[in-house]
Structure 1
Amino acid sequence: MSDDRYGRDVLSSPRKTKPKAPEVAAERDLVVEDAATGFCGAVVGLEKSYAGDLVRLEDRRGQTRVFLMYPAAFLIDGKPVTLTRPRGRG
């Protein structure tokens, strides 16, 4: 019997992956909450930067803020989602 206080080799089997957050198109007027800051607002625009896609949110007082569209970075009804650019029309 081995007296291994750390248990089995953690690198010997694949890691369990978290369930992927659903993707939601960042349509205008969609209300979301930024999970990191708690800022809640409606989508009023999308932008691009060297760091990636950005979404501009406007809160009920008219203040706007810009957030990077990281995976699972936003909440809708308390559940994490990944915002994506809406598909082009036409």
Structure 2
Amino acid sequence: MRRVALHGGDVLHGDGLELRGNTLWVVHNVSNTISRWHVFDDGASARLERKVTDEALQIPTTMVRSRGRTLVVRSQFDKGGPMGPGTPQMPFTVATVNGI
């Protein structure tokens, strides 16, 4: 294992990750954010390319890229889970995020 130098941002609260070629997508659960990174060929550093934050992501926990779309699992951890009181709305859903 080795550290990767990040330029332009961080991966704080990063949960789900997907790496394809030199592109890394990260879902940040607490901040309801998805970030896209360019990983340099040596794997020693990465540069933030884009970041999207939206409360509608409902504490995302994981993601997958499919046909140019980013599909994100909405955990609702803030509704009766480890991050708050209440009751989650059933069924749990997946958000589609374009352009990230």
| TM class, shorter-length | 0.3 to 0.5
Structure with higher Rg: it is 1
User: Does 1 or 2 have the higher relative contact order (CA < 8 Å, sep 6+)?
Assistant: 1
TM-score scaled to structure 1, two decimals? Answer: 0.34
Greater fraction strand: 2
- Structure-2-length-normalised TM-score: 0.32
